[in-house]
Structure 1
Amino acid sequence: MGYNLNENLKRSASNFPESIAYIFRDKSATYQELNQKVDRLAAGLFVQGIRKGDGVALILGNSPEFLIAFYGILRLGAFVVPINPLYTQGEINYFLDNSQAKAVIAHVSVEPKLSEVKKQLENLKLVIYTEANDQESTWEHLMETSINVYESPYIDEEDLAVILYTSGTTGKPKGAMLTHRNLGSNADSISKLLELDVNDRIVAVLPMFHVFCMTVCLNAPIACGATVLIQPKFSPHDVVSTIREKKATVFAGVPTMYSFINQLPEAIAEDCQSIRMCISGGASIPAELLHKFENKFNVSILEGYGLSETAPLVAINPLKGTRKPGSIGLNIPAVQSKVVDEFGKELPRGEVGELVVQGPNVMKGYLGMPEATSAAFNDGWFYTGDLATMDEEGYIYIVDRKKDIIIVGGYNVYPREVEEVLYQHPAVVEAAVIGVPDREYGESVKAFVAVEDEQITMNDIIQFCQDKLVKYKLPKRVEFFKELPKNSTGKILRRELRELTEVK
């Protein structure tokens, strides 16, 4: 039958019926209970007319409802469209229209936006709120359905499981079509690489609508009967308390989260003594931050790399064996990658080119966008848009996004290289670098920083960088922020910084 997320849950419910599947505040459920809840939700959707091949959107924060709905939709052979509840009405309209979703399961806080959207979309037949709402079907009503009303259909590993919308830096967001094989193979690789088992407790504080959390904190743990510790939103204090009180064994986060936890004065190494590994992804973690965090909490951070289109993991530093700070590690099982020039020719080790990927985790394509799909693939390889280099042992180093390169007087400047230096400054908490127009050199480097010490000046920062960077890589200007703009996963948004610069 191949990879099948639905079967993974059934197997864990059969093998570990009494093991705790999730803990959320004061609620918890065993695998047997979770499986029954998933059955009831699938039956409720079936009675409301949802069938195999239909799309159901989830506009929910981190909650047991997200987990139950995600697997309930898959059990019907339908596909999930995860949407950030903070998106605007226009963005939600676009995702629902583009995916042709027939139903939405949402938190009641989204109701004002959804009631307008529903009037405009003929395809949208059903809106379910997880909390009481007078006009619509409710979660409770759905969960009361007898599970005998339907029979779970045959699900092939090539069936569509999830459509993930990638943030469109140019044009409209694209819907990456991920199959059961894409997501299932990735969950399988992660659970093997991280040696996850029934005794593990994984903190799920990354947004569940994002592929990093979906695979690392939901699908991989559920495939091996581990416990998911659901956190509704990120707070450094709450995360440290959860790790300490619930004896978490695995924490996955983005660099910003590690930075905030590291700054928590009351947090000490003993709080994290149950943790056997941390995972960082979503953006490159500055080497300085990685060392500070590891030294403070006496834990190891495994840096990895992935994309929505690759379900998501491509490479990660090994749990056992050599970890190379600054590197995203080695290819995961069954996934291949190489570094190529602009003609698609593989480059010698150590040279910088575009990272291309091949494997069972690579998406089917972009929904309804044949041109964008064919532009992303060449000769069976997916082009990531990231510039990378690979060392003799196969460890991959992401240099930067292809489109983020700054060209100063004909010289390439990779923002990440400058950011790594900025993070070494003791007062710098966050840093990002972009290229701005320059009459003499075409472009120059501009830095944006958030600092702990308000007395720090632009000259202090530039002087600090002078010993560590060649002249053309030095920031010409530095702008100070209380906090840099970020997306829902905590990734710093260079795009917004560019727009701010253009407005000025």
Structure 2
Amino acid sequence: MNLVHSLIETAKSHGDRTAFIYEEKETTYQQFLDAVIKFASGLHKVGVKQGDHVALLVGNSPEFIIGLHGALRAGATVIPINPIYTPDEITYIIKNGDVKTVIALDTLLPVMEQVMNHVPALEQIIVCAAAPGGAAVKNNKIKTFTEVLMSGDPELPLPIIHKDQTAVILYTSGTTGKPKGAMLTHYNLYSNARDLLSFLEISKNDHIIAVLPMFHVFCLTVAINVPIICGATILIVPKFIPSEVFRISRNYKATVFAGVPTMYNFLLHYPEADPSDLQSLRLCVSGGASMPLTLLENFEKKYNVQISEGYGLSEASPVTCFNPLDRPRKPGSVGTSIINVENKVVNELGEAIPAGEVGELIVRGPNVMKGYYKMPEETASAIQDGWLHTGDLAKMDDDGYFYIVDRKKDLVIVGGYNVYPREVEEVLYSHSSVVEAAVIGVPDEDYGEALKAYVVRKDPSLTEEELTAFCRGHLAKYKVPSGIEFLDELPKNTTGKILKRALRQTLLSKDIQQT
């Protein structure tokens, strides 16, 4: 079984059920499959062959889902890209990823024409929504999504899709250099969706809010592939706007919400929030970053719905752990290993360590990537003896629940003592006037490193001295931030994850200017 076959099987058994709702319009699974087959054959007609790489720069919309599954049905490998990336970032991925065809928003056409001038191997651009105007119409390398879709022939033979064929290449955020393309097979993605479906007890009766960016693997698996396998309904939200999430949840009786901690924080503090708007939710899932305990507890109390935290990474399709529904949930934990996936905490020699000790989390299972595209050395470093080394520091308790302590690269050593920024952030979040917080390590002449906190405050009268004193009451002296800077907002990526590297870069720029 693979992603292509799962959609075919769902259309056979649940063809009349609603596959997705977008801007009040409902599309059934049979209509969805028909569109996918037509688009796949349309891609073949314009020259897309099995094994070709197709980039997808489209926001949350039916075009994304149809474009994704249409390209997969055509035998192509899909490379989802964040539509708001800069031209340089887009050019790098398209060039490095050997992309021949791009499916993009019409608003990106000027950018894509620039990219085409720098990447001769890029053969054509398929634009979504409005037809391109002016000179673009005369360019035979530019077509519209509708043209390709309508030109499709449902009777045209399409290639056989193998489970070990690369389905998607996901480029990581590149926190330690240029982005790396994680190659995920059809079976990687299908198995993770299938196992998560079982673990979270998702069924055809669920209505799942898809507001996370569809180009991100969290949304791709939890809010697209999982519902497609079982025939559930996807509620497509183009952009995260709290009022829109409340409206869609209320109008369509949403049962599952998937988000990152920042989204939950905005929903919690939304001034016009009505808890009854989320009363149909039976499950909230969180990933992408660790959720502060204070945020989790306050959200659950206000909206009367449990949040199940999990853990994953692009290289694992992405989910490896989730808090189980049939056993007690442990706040602060990312849960236990999901079905068919093994998680283990090891020391620097790769040896398993006792429960309660901190080490690196490594993962093994059918969800682990083939490797990084055109990067054999990085692949060999990441996957050793079948185990994916995540780079995250974790510990496991006696019941098999895992706790993410921090990223290995985020560990701060103050005067010889290990300090995990997340522990400090938890204390900051527990202050009633703190909305968001991020802690990083900074150079220190006396101790080697020190801690600096960046905080968004609810009460503008809160001072650095007051918050530092609060930290002293809850932390050992060496864990207390040496400096606290208040910001109007913290830098985030499009999934809402706080970008600590942006804070480091800002700090570095200030240091350079001062020297």
**In the TM superposition, what is the alpha-carbon distance from 1:26 to its structure 2 partner?**
2.2
Deviates more, 1:467-476 or 1:148-157: 148-157
2:126 is matched with which residue?
A: 128
Match of 2:475 among 469, 476, 482: 469
Cα pair 1:47 1:149 within 8 Å, conserved: no
Query: Amino acid of the residue matched to residue 444 of structure 1?
Result: A
Distance 2:254 2:35 in 1: 25
Distance 2:340 2:84 in 1: 36
Match of 2:200 among 188, 194, 200: 194
Distance 1:265 1:501 in 2: 33
2:513 is matched with which residue?
A: none
Distance 2:271 2:89 in 1: 39
Distance 1:150 1:469 in 2: 66
1:363 is matched with which residue?
A: 369
Secondary structure of the equivalent of 1:450?
A: strand
TM-score (normalised: structure 2): 0.96
2:233 is matched with which residue?
A: 227
Cα pair 2:345 2:396 within 8 Å, conserved: yes
Distance 1:407 1:146, change over 3 A: closer
Is 1:407 matched with 2:413? yes
**In the TM superposition, what is the alpha-carbon distance from 1:149 to its structure 2 partner?**
5.6
Secondary structure of the equivalent of 2:120?
A: coil
1:395 is matched with which residue?
A: 401
Match of 2:86 among 85, 88, 93: 88
User: How much is the aligned-residue C-alpha RMSD, in angstroms?
Assistant: 0.9
Query: Amino acid of the residue matched to residue 91 of structure 1?
Result: E
Cα displacement string for residues 350-391 of structure 1 (whole angstroms, at most 9, x for unaligned residues): 100000000000000000000111111222111000000000
Is 1:270 matched with 2:276? yes
1:482 is matched with which residue?
A: 488
Cα displacement string for residues 203-224 of structure 1 (whole angstroms, at most 9, x for unaligned residues): 0000000000000000000000
Which runs of 5 or more structure 2 residues have no equivalent in the other structure? 137-141, 511-515
Secondary structure of the equivalent of 1:122?
A: coil
1:280 is matched with which residue?
A: 286
2:296 is matched with which residue?
A: 290
How do 1:60-79 residues align onto structure 2 when only pairs under 5 Å count? Answer: 60-79=58-77
**In the TM superposition, what is the alpha-carbon distance from 1:269 to its structure 2 partner?**
2.5
2:5 is matched with which residue?
A: 7
How do 1:168-187 residues align onto structure 2 when only pairs under 5 Å count? Answer: 168-187=174-193
Cα pair 1:447 1:478 within 8 Å, conserved: yes
Number of aligned residue pairs = 502
Cα displacement string for residues 256-290 of structure 1 (whole angstroms, at most 9, x for unaligned residues): 00000000122232111110100000000000000
Which runs of 5 or more structure 1 residues have no equivalent in the other structure? none
Distance 2:338 2:187 in 1: 15
Cα pair 2:80 2:169 within 8 Å, conserved: yes
Query: Amino acid of the residue matched to residue 305 of structure 1?
Result: Y
2:49 is matched with which residue?
A: 51
1:27 is matched with which residue?
A: 25
Distance 1:456 1:329 in 2: 35
1:418 is matched with which residue?
A: 424
Cα pair 2:310 2:322 within 8 Å, conserved: yes
1:145 is matched with which residue?
A: 151
Secondary structure of the equivalent of 1:299?
A: coil
Secondary structure of the equivalent of 1:475?
A: coil
Secondary structure of the equivalent of 1:361?
A: coil
1:441 is matched with which residue?
A: 447
Distance 2:476 2:438 in 1: 18
Is 1:250 matched with 2:256? yes
Cα pair 1:268 1:296 within 8 Å, conserved: no
Distance 1:140 1:407 in 2: 56
Distance 1:241 1:257 in 2: 15
TM-score (normalised: structure 1): 0.99
